[in-house]
Amino acid sequence: MPNEAKNRLDALIKKSRADLYKPLAVAEILYRHRLQDLDINDLQSYRRKSYEWMREVILFIHRKTTALNSRYWDQMFDDSVLPPKHLQQLAEINRQYNGIVEVYIYAHIKAKFSAFAQLRQTIELASPETFSLDTFLGFFENNAKYRGSIDKAYEIAVYALFNALVTELKAKVTLSVDKNALPVLQEFEDFSRLVLGCDTQHLTITQSAQLFRVGTANANDAGLDMWANFGPAVQVKHLSLQPTQVVDICNGVRAEQVVIVCKSCEATSIHSLLMQLGLSEKLRGIITEKDLEKWYAKCRLPQYRNTLGKSVIASIIQEMKLEFPLSESEVFDKFFRERNYDTNILGGEWQLI
């Protein structure tokens, strides 16, 4: 038994975020080796193709598409992760035991999404009085299988709160064109109408303030998590945020100001570092876990339960649907039938834990 190869696969599964993109790609590589005699030692024959194979399965199972950074993808085949020599060992076991490694990976994916489904159902049944931020985040923090998605869960919690507060405040954003620029506006009125929303008849427009999550891509998300139509960009980090990351965020995000959400213990060092590097003017502020806990607690107060409290829960549910699309059991069952996967073959070292 290639213990080292399996240990590396298990590490990849453990570290992967919600959709297990990379483990899924491994399954697809092994699937093609088993049925089409793919040459595992020829990395270039599947390095890029494996990405497309993964996307095809994601579209079938989760009914969504994804876009990942090429370097992020290539890291899967690094010597320290799962290079061809270890893939070859897995491929031999997979072929010998009728696709056991493929079944092992897809059984993990099915089990993980079943757990996400149960979590969402729990939140849907919760009231503002019973919903607990600690319980929601604890689902990810306290279980190694889901810890890889804690940053996304934290981002959802932050966005839900911010979105609810901005909406409840009925904040407005006003954009206007200087009257002295009217000749230019007349010349480029079609541009102004399309891009700014202003024209010669409407020199000023007002719209609701809004926050937007950038997306659910799992790669290259160190620069920006949310942006606002009223100015700042928002970066959320629940996992340890290193000083170099902070500098990259402030230098890399093309927004006049950035709001960083991080652990309470890191706030002081982050602020000091930005002061030293002359980047403090770009930082609008730092929000910590304690701030979030305080604001969430206020949303549960009697005067806010039916407004902010319900709005926060509804937003968390909506964002979970986008971040962790819950494929129906029937979809997984159909996929397993088409592949002739039998979970009964899982046992011994290949037993799901």
Q: What angle do CA 98, 88, 101 make, to 5 degrees?
A: 35
- Residue-level pLDDT at 158: 94
34-48 burial, b at 16+ Cβ within 10 Å, e below that, comes to beeebebeeeeebbe
Listing DSSP states for 136-203 in one string gives: HHHHHHT-TTTGGGHHHHHHHHHHHHHHHHHHHTT-EEEEE--GGGHHHHHHTHHHIIIIIS-BTTBS
- Residue-level pLDDT at 46: 93
- Residue-level pLDDT at 253: 59
Among 282, 275, 278, 276, smallest CA distance to 260 is for 282
Looking at residue 235, the DSSP 8-state letter turns out to be: E
Greater confidence (147 vs 23) lies with 23
Q: What is the mean pLDDT of the chain?
A: 86
- Phi, psi at residue 213, to the nearest 5°? -80, 140
The string of pLDDT tens digits covering residues 188-218 is 999 999 999 999 999 999 999 998 887 544 4
Calpha distance 53→76 (Å, rounded): 15
- Residue-level pLDDT at 30: 96
The string of pLDDT tens digits covering residues 53-82 is 999 998 888 777 776 777 778 888 999 999
Among 65, 23, 70, 30, smallest CA distance to 48 is for 70
Greater confidence (326 vs 211) lies with 211
- Residue-level pLDDT at 228: 85
- Residue-level pLDDT at 243: 62
Calpha distance 311→299 (Å, rounded): 9
- Phi, psi at residue 279, to the nearest 5°? -105, 5
The string of pLDDT tens digits covering residues 286-306 is 888 899 999 999 999 999 999
Calpha distance 29→305 (Å, rounded): 50
pTM: 0.78
Q: Can you point out the beta strands (E) in the chain?
A: 172-176, 204-208, 211-213, 226-228, 233-236, 258-262, 283-288
The string of pLDDT tens digits covering residues 93-137 is 999 999 999 999 999 988 888 888 889 889 999 999 999 999 999
Q: What percent of the chain has pLDDT over 70?
A: 89
- Residue-level pLDDT at 157: 94
- Residue 205, judged by CB atoms within 10 A of its CB (0-12, 13-18, 19+), counts as middle
- Residue-level pLDDT at 222: 45
Confidence of residue 242 (pLDDT cuts 50, 70, 90): low
- Residue-level pLDDT at 61: 82
- Residue-level pLDDT at 233: 81
Q: Which amino acid is at 35?
A: L
Listing DSSP states for 15-50 in one string gives: H--TT-HHHHHHHHHHHHHHHH---TT-GGGTTTHH
Section 276-286 average pLDDT: 78
Domain parsing of the chain, residue ranges: 3-117
- The two three-digit tokens of residue 13, written as one number: 């599964």
The string of pLDDT tens digits covering residues 166-187 is 999 999 999 999 999 999 999 9
- Residue-level pLDDT at 297: 94
Greater confidence (339 vs 256) lies with 339
Among 78, 113, 154, smallest CA distance to 316 is for 154
Among 147, 217, 242, smallest CA distance to 260 is for 242
Distance from chain centroid for Cα 258: 19
- Phi, psi at residue 173, to the nearest 5°? -120, 130
Sheet with 283-288, side-by-side order of all strands: 211-213, 226-228, 233-236, 258-262, 283-288
Calpha distance 199→185 (Å, rounded): 7
